Each structure stands twice: as structure tokens, then as C-alpha cells.
Amino acid sequence: MNTPDLRRERRLLAAALGIEVTDLPALAGATPEGLRAVRRGLGEHQYARHRRTFRRIGKLAGAVPTALASRIAQAALGPVVSARAAATMEPDLAIKLAASLPATFLADLSVQLDAERASAIIAGLPEHTVLEVAALLVERGEHLTLSRFISVIDTSVAAHVVEQLDARALLEIANLAEDGDAVDGVLREVPQSRADEVANAVTDEQTALDLLDVVARVSAEQGQRLLDAVATSETATSHLEAARTARSL
Amino acid sequence: MSNVTVQQLADDLGLDHAALDGLEAVPATEVEALRGLVAEAVAAEDALVSDSLDAAIDALPRPLRGRARGLLLEHS
């Protein structure tokens, strides 16, 4: 059965494997939990294989001048290894290093960063840095990356990021995020005008299906707010009805 | 768990067999394809880490390279 959880987990697993979701085998009969276990197992396995090296890189970064560490991260290590090493560092050192790196490199690094492992670092970054990096990720259409940060950045900061998103991107990110409660928390911060924009973005059946998926994973209160906004638009309402019919078939 | 390929995938990832119970119903050929993709992802990251370390050492001032190489590559 093609549930929202299953669609989300297929997208996340494909990303972890470094492939397009269309290149992932059908895996018929897999549960979302099964796919999640593979994805998380792969992440842990890859990290564990080089854990000692990543820690040593982190140690070395603390032993050389910040400017040199910053240059090596950008010119030699690259965003993947820098992201893995950053997650092993003391948050204070990683935050100091982040201040010496350009936002473009931090955005590259964010795509590779394990948001949960690096949550203490992210929490310590200045708000302007988070917003600058998020703006770049929005511009690049890195919706999957943005979805991973919803649960580790402050809700009010996330709400600022949401202001930069078009309504379709907002729906996609809300569906990709693993943490439904965090999505709900961000929606609470979103003004009614944004909810109305989301409703206006429901101009086809696919967007209506995306909206139904979001409604299904947030609180009844936030779900109803979105549905009420849709009800003010005849076009959106008709697409939503079509989507409901399609889903019940 | 009775699906042998799922058990092999769990072994590849260092997981308990029960962790992948959610793949029990997946046809063995598809689990095998998934194992191949997992192996490719692991190999790609291994190569990337190795190349990045070499590049990082080369980027250091020459007098520091020997010590850095010892620190970064020993038993890694």
C-alpha cells in the first residue's frame, strides 16, 4: 500500500543511497519501519567505518589555526567529510569553525550533515547564520535537507525559513520531515496569510494529495486550519475532492 | 525472520536480524538489488573519505604533513 509514510521513507532511503527515488527497486511489501531501519542502519554503518578518522580530523581542526582548518575543509576535505567530522567535534569548536566558513560551503555541508548528531552545534549557531544558510538551501531547492532540520532548529527560526518558501515547497518539506510534531509546531507559527497561500497553491490533484498528507500528520487543529483555508477557494476545493476520491479508490 | 537475503542485508549493515522484519515480504531479488545499492553507497563513501584525507594532508604546510598523516591514517 502506497502510504505517505512509505513514500517519505522511499525518498529518504534513495537519498541515503545517493540515487534518485525512481532508481530504487519497488521493494513491494516493505513497511515504512523496514525502510527506515535500512536507512538508519546504513548511516550508522558508514559513520562507524570511519568514526576514528572523523574524530581525528576534528582533533586536528582544533590543533591548527582556524583559518587553516577552514581552508582545508573547503579546499581538501569537502562537504561530506567535513560534515561527518563536524559531528564529532566539541560544539564550541565546530561553531567557531563555522563562523570562518562561507555560507555557500555551510549550505553544501548541511546537505551532508546528520542533523540529529549535530543538533548541539546547530543550536549554538547564530540565528543569522542559520537563516543565511537556509536561504541558500531554499534557493537551491534542497527540500529534503530543509526537512531534516525542522526538528533541530528553533521553531521561531523555522517559521522565518518558511516565509521564504513557496507554498508547494512548504507542502513537500512538511511531508518529507520525519518529525510530524515538529511540522505541527512550525505550522502553529505560520500566519493565516501563509495558510491561505498554501490553499491557493492547490491547483492540481498532486498538490491536493500532498496537502491531504500534511493534514493527516499534523494535529487536528492545524489540519483543520489548512482545510478551512482550502474551503475558501472553489478551485482548491474541487482538486481536494478529486484527491480524496483518488485516494479512496 | 526466514528471508535469507534480508538476513544478509542485516548482516551487511551490522543490524540484528529482527531490525529488518519490515522487509520480510519483499521479494528476494529486490532485497538483493537493495544489497547491491547499499554496497555501492558504502564503497562510494569509503573512496570519498580516502581521497579527502589525502587531499587534506597535501593541503597542509609540508613540515606538518608527516605528523598529520600519522595522526589521520594510523589504524583508520
Of all residues in chain B, the percent with pLDDT exceeding 90 is 62
Please give the span between the terminal C-alpha atoms of chain A, in angstroms, as a whole number. Answer: 12
Contact criterion met (CB < 8 Å) for B76 and A46: no
Instruction: Give strand ranges (E) for chain A.
Output: none
Please report which confidence band the pLDDT of residue B76 belongs to, taking 50, 70 and 90 as the band edges: very low
Sequence-ordered list of residues with C-beta below 8 angstroms from that of A67, at least 6 positions apart, any chain: A100
Ranges of chain A whose pLDDT falls below 70: 1, 249
For residue A27, the chain B residue with the least C-alpha distance is B26
Instruction: Evaluate if pTM is beyond 0.80.
Output: yes
A121 CB-near residues (< 8 Å, 6+ apart) = A86, A87, A89, A91, A94, A95, A98
Count how many pairs of residues, chain A against chain B, have C-beta atoms within 8 Å.
130
Rounded to whole angstroms, the Cα distance separating A164 from B15 reads 40
Partner-chain contact B38 A18, CB within 8 Å = no
Residue contact A72–B60, C-beta within 8 A: yes
Find the residue in B nearest to A50 (Cα).
B76
CB contact under 8 A, A18 and B52: no
Give Cα separations from B75 to A6, A127, B58, B64, B70 (angstroms). 40, 39, 19, 19, 9
Residues of chain A contacting residue B56, judged by C-beta atoms under 8 Å apart: 57, 72, 76-77, 81
Residues of chain A contacting B42 with CB distance shorter than 8 Å: 42, 45-46, 49
The model's pLDDT over A64-115, given as tens digits with 9 standing for 90+, comes to 899 989 999 998 899 999 999 999 999 999 999 999 999 999 999 999 999 9
pLDDT band at B75 (very low <50, low <70, confident <90, very high): low
DSSP B20: G
Report yes or no: A71 at the B interface, CB cutoff 8 Å.
yes
pLDDT score for A1: 64
Q: What is the pLDDT of residue B31?
A: 96
Query: Hey, CA dihedral for B13, B19, B22, B25, is it positive or negative?
Result: positive
Report the gap between the CA of B8 and the closest CA in chain A (Å). Answer: 12
Quick one: which of B75, B34, B66 has its CA closest to A55?
A: B75
* Cα nearest neighbour of A112 on chain B: B45
Kindly report the nearest CA distance between residue B30 and chain A, in angstroms: 6
Q: Using an 8 Å Cβ cutoff, are A230 and A202 in contact?
A: yes
pLDDT, mean of residues B38-49: 96
Show the cell assigned to A152: 533541530
CB contact under 8 A, A41 and B15: yes
Instruction: Spell out which residues of chain B touch residue A56, defining contact as CB-CB under 8 Å.
Output: 71-72, 76
Average pLDDT over residues B41-49: 95
- Tell me the C-alpha distance between B21 and A31, whole Å: 9
| ipTM value for the complex | 0.88
Maximum separation of any 2 CA atoms in chain A, in Å: 63
- Range B5-33 burial, b when 16+ CB lie within 10 A, else e: bbeebbebbebeeebbbbbeebeeebbeb
